[in-house]
Structure 1
Amino acid sequence: MPDLRVIHESIESLLDGAEERETMETPGKSGARLDRLLLNGEPYVVKYLDAENDWTMRAAGVPGGASLELWSRGIFDHLPDCFNQPIVAVAKGEISALLMHDVSPWLVPATDDPIPLAQQEQFLDHMAAMHVGFWETTLDIDIVSPTTRYLELSPSMAAAEAALGSDAVVPRLVAQGWPLLEEVAPKAAGIVSPLAHNPGPLVQALARTPQTFVHGNWKLDNLGTDAQGRTVILDWETPGRAAPLCDVAWYLAINCRRLPTSKEDALTSYRDALERRGIDTTDWWEVQMSLALLGGLVHFGWEKAFSGYDDELAWWEDRAIRAAPLLS
């Protein structure tokens, strides 16, 4: 394990000498504030980690934020070279902060258009590289537990946010979406709604398959491709130890409208990337894939319900039905 990174004791120390600071508009819905600034003539972005204003931090339950914890443990130093992880310094306090290179020119544009196939293939290949690099690792990667990760978008999270008087958009939509799923897709709801309240059976079943380090939020808003062809990756919201296909399932669920291929083709691309790196998937792939896709609907069943019973929801419902016997 490398030496722990230096952590500034204040945001003022972290940003000493900063110029031309301005607040950024972002597509994110966490409530986090970001500023763009110049430091020694170079462009940077600072992200403020304040649990009082960021519902995702409250849901993850990591003091100071998961990214700061990864930094302090030196986990970022173990990422493969195919990643551009832009954090360069951090500060910890009542409000923490991440100082990052400004990678905004390389991020995936915030549109509704499918991304290029070559870019998706690269994202899945680099995701596999990260997973292989941490395969069954003994490093201290237990930041956010699988149970907490599955509860991030749960009815209990929505209820907790309502009790706090939070005006965050996503928790309010989560509260509306879970009851709606029971109306538009009762078969799916019958399987995933109990798991959204208590993901224990799913977590236990997945724990019997290979584990690695997962990012937890492979949303296109958090990704990009830099000038060297590396994958830019942001917002380590719920990282930790988990089944690798949980990252893939999240990617397929949250980015469903922008995928340039079928979900099946994307899964094949990821599997091929694992196999190229020496991971034999023969004995565990089908079980972990089925369970992880069930988990995708545990995360996003509420969101799928808003579009009614369309082809997208039907696809996920079918996978949930197939996976349900694996929980026993």
Structure 2
Amino acid sequence: MLTKLISTLVHTYVCRNPGGLPDWLGNVVVAVAIAIVVSFTFVYLLSYVHISGAKKTLLSVLCAFFGLALVLVSSGIVTAFTEDIARSVNVVHVVDTTRMNDGNTEPLSYVSLFSNMPGKLTQELMDLRGEEFSCGRNMTTDFVTFTVKYGCRSYKGSNAGWSKSEVPVLHVESDSAADDARKTVVSVDTKSSTRWSLAINMQEIDDFTIQVESDKLVQLGGKSEVDGWHTIQFAGGKNAPTKFQLTLVWSSNATQASPKEANAEDPPLLVKLRTDVNRATPMVETVLEKLPRWCAAFGKSTSPYTLAFLTALPVNI
């Protein structure tokens, strides 16, 4: 019962953006839960102790249990996670082409390891020695539907298991202004992927449409936003389309990025695209095999598959 309670409490604090919560939050939640249970127990136990005069005995037993617990936890005999209380992790081979628009000719490829649950990945890395992972809050990755704010990366063997022919393409077909409204037509080619996520910067764009040939999948009007972005998720079958036309209607208050912003390391983006491929690359397979048995592969509807391609268009197109 206590195991189920702690498991529920820990999984309640799953963060939308991995690493977005403090590392110590999980420990505090579990500690408070245990303190509440112990306090309620003492309400009934202390009254008996006062009557029976067993204060010294109870104090000795409590100290012995506390010392035993410290030994078991510090020695690793009792681990923080087990097969019953598993830690959810994601292992994704990322091919990032967002910098190719800045003149870089080669995509950035790496394997990303992260968890939606609070805490660092120190124990997991002990089983991944030799795979050249580095962790920190500087290992951020924008997966369009969420952002990894703390994670681990490895560039070892990251060029195997994918090809450039799978890299999605965002191509500006036309960019014109008529009737005081600027419109930009972008062709979207997701290549072999039929599961993708697209985010549009609603601080720059008033409205947009998405169509396949003559069929409009997204009509004008009724657009919402979260943190300034409108996100679309698409999942199709085997014969689902992979080529789309995105028409952007610019806002009258749209501001062009300054030369300093445009040349910055992270220039403002107009459109972000992530395409998912349900395939494990050799490096991903190696990592999944080496992860501790108490790690469980976890994915929500917003999570990528084990192979994800990232691309984007800057505001200054």
Report the TM-score range of the alignment, normalised by the length of the smaller protein.
under 0.3
TM (norm. structure 1) is 0.22
Of Structure 1 and Structure 2, the greater strand share is in 2
Of Structure 1 and Structure 2, the greater helix share is in 1
